[in-house]
């Protein structure tokens, strides 16, 4: 199937879903965006995408509140906790058995979407942060390339994506980086400022080491991210600030005010995806009889912040669990 012959529905037309759909639309794909009134108002005058990726501008986007049309593909780009509710809105769309393209954080998202929808589902990895600067204006604040399985190679050009035969390995590699989402949300600093400080990086390094032990026990081999073998990431993160900044230029390629999506959720008083990030590490570690005290502490801190509906603004020392007396 050629790209321009495809019909795509973006289900979950938030930041990432709209970015993915708009990039396809700019290449001639017929794209509809499923959303409520807020989505219609946001996209009423078209869309502009700016930032670290390729800039595009679209005069019109077709937003639908429901649909019974036939689509070849449905991009599922909602938060993980909203998967079942969103799929239940798709109704007749799913009876035609489109393939779901799952752009969600964590591991197992595509399998979950397939189980709930009864359709085949393929995961993709979107590494960067996108946010609204204004209605109709999306901004890509951090860098990186989308990665898609070989079966979605037809869309690789539109997304400037890399293709892989082992997307699960790529998703595991991204999870290691996403463990920083909690740290960023809890401290409230811009990502570049947070990652430039060794104490915060040491928290991330400890969380990653726990995840790497879980991966090893489960036989999961995370892909290299940011040009660095996963096993070396914790050691690089612990380097002094000057040495880290020299070695990790790719990790620091971002807008000065960029923050994680988990920060955005806490700031807006919304439920976060922590259960599928640090929470996944904790659950799997418990099942394997492994210790994951750092991820467990971060999980609890984020859950507490969700209850309070605010960014707590913690320092690095507060992000590590207290050591038990010997």
CATH number at 143 reads: 3.40.50.720
Shared-domain flag, residues 150 and 181: no
Shared-domain flag, residues 25 and 126: yes
CA distances from 232 to 41, 111, 266, 280 (A): 46, 30, 30, 21
**Tokens 């204006």 -> residue:** 137
The whole-chain average pLDDT of the chain stands at 94
28 SS3 class: coil
Residue 217 lies in a domain: yes
Query: What does the alpha-carbon distance between residue 39 and residue 43 come to, in Å, rounded to a whole number?
Result: 6
Shared-domain flag, residues 47 and 94: yes
Query: What does the alpha-carbon distance between residue 31 and residue 73 come to, in Å, rounded to a whole number?
Result: 10
Shared-domain flag, residues 230 and 188: yes
Q: Which of 133, 164, 195 is the last residue of a domain?
A: 164
Shared-domain flag, residues 117 and 15: yes
Q: Please, which residues bridge with residue 10 across strands?
A: 33, 75
pLDDT value, residue 228: 86
Shared-domain flag, residues 158 and 213: no
Shared-domain flag, residues 204 and 312: yes
pLDDT value, residue 39: 92
DSSP-assigned letters across all residues of 195-261: HTSHHHHHHHHHHHHHHHHHHHHHT--PPPBTTB-GGGHHHHHTS-HHHHHHH-TTTT-B-TT---H
Residue 324 lies in a domain: no
Torsion angle of C-alpha atoms 32, 33, 36, 42, degrees rounded to 10: -120
pLDDT value, residue 226: 80
Query: What does the alpha-carbon distance between residue 178 and residue 169 come to, in Å, rounded to a whole number?
Result: 14
Q: Which among 131, 119, 115 is positioned nearest to 52, based on CA atoms?
A: 131
Q: H/E element holding 180?
A: helix 180-187
Shared-domain flag, residues 215 and 241: yes
pLDDT value, residue 6: 83
pLDDT value, residue 1: 44
Shared-domain flag, residues 147 and 247: no
Residue 267, class by beta-carbon neighbours within 10 Å (0-12 exposed, 13-18 middle, 19+ buried)? middle
**CB 153 within 8 Å of CB 202:** no
More confident residue, 66 or 97: 97
DSSP-assigned letters across all residues of 134-178: ETTEEEE-B----EEEGGGGGGHHHHT-EEES-HHHHHHHHHHHH
Q: What confidence tens digit (pLDDT) does each residue in 178-234 have?
A: 999 999 999 999 999 999 999 999 999 999 999 999 999 999 999 998 888 999 999
296-324: string of b/e by CB count within 10 Å (b at 16+)? bbbbebbeebbeeeebeeeebeebbeeee
Shared-domain flag, residues 218 and 284: yes
pLDDT value, residue 2: 53
Least confident of 20-34, 49-63, 249-263: 249-263
State mean pLDDT over 48-74: 92
Per the structure, the count of domains in the chain is 2
Q: Which of 99, 131, 164 is the last residue of a domain?
A: 164
Query: What does the alpha-carbon distance between residue 312 and residue 326 come to, in Å, rounded to a whole number?
Result: 30
Q: Which of 132, 164, 196 is the last residue of a domain?
A: 164
Residue 197 lies in a domain: yes
Nearest-5° Cα angle at 134, 130 to 135: 100
Query: What does the alpha-carbon distance between residue 161 and residue 24 come to, in Å, rounded to a whole number?
Result: 12
Residue 325 lies in a domain: no
Q: What confidence tens digit (pLDDT) does each residue in 254-309 have?
A: 888 999 999 999 999 999 999 999 999 999 999 999 999 999 999 999 999 999 99
Model confidence at 235: pLDDT above 60: yes
- Say which DSSP state 125 is in: B
pLDDT value, residue 68: 81
CATH number at 254 reads: 1.10.1040.10
Residue 326 lies in a domain: no
pLDDT value, residue 324: 62
Shared-domain flag, residues 210 and 181: yes
What is the domain range of residue 310?
Answer: 170-319
Shared-domain flag, residues 58 and 83: yes
**Tokens 């290449």 -> residue:** 27
């Amino acid at each position: 199937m050629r790209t321009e012959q495809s019909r795509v529905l973006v289900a979950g037309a938030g930041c990432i879903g709209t970015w993915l759909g708009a990039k396809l639309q700019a290449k001639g794909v017929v794209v509809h965006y499923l959303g409520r009134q807020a989505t219609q108002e946001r996209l009423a005058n078209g869309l502009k995408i700016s930032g670290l990726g390729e800039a595009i501008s679209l005069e019109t986007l077709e937003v639908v509140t429901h649909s019974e049309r036939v689509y070849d593909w449905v991009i599922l780009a909602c938060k993980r906790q909203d998967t079942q509710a969103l799929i239940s809105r798709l109704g007749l769309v799913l009876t035609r058995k489109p393939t779901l393209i799952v752009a969600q954080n964590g591991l197992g998202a595509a399998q979950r979407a397939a189980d709930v929808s009864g359709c085949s589902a393929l995961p993709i990895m979107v590494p960067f942060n996108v946010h609204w600067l204004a209605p109709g204006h999306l901004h890509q604040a951090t860098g990186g390339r989308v990665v898609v399985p070989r079966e979605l190679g037809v869309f690789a050009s539109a997304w400037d994506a890399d293709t892989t035969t082992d997307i699960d390995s790529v998703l595991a590699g991204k999870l290691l980086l996403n463990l920083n989402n909690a740290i960023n949300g809890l401290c409230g600093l811009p990502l570049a400022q947070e990652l430039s400080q060794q104490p915060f990086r040491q928290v991330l390094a400890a969380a990653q080491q726990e995840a790497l032990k879980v991966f090893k026990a489960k036989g999961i081999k995370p892909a290299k991210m940011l040009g660095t073998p996963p096993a070396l990431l914790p050691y690089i993160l612990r380097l002094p600030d000057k040495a880290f900044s020299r070695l990790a230029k790719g990790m620091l390629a971002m807008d000065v005010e960029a923050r994680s999506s988990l920060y955005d959720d806490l700031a807006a008083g919304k439920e976060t995806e922590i259960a599928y990030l640090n929470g996944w590490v904790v659950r799997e570690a418990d099942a394997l009889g492994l210790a994951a005290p750092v991820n467990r502490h971060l999980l609890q801190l984020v859950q507490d912040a969700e209850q309070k509906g605010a960014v707590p603004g913690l320092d690095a020392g507060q992000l590590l669990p207290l050591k038990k007396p010997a």
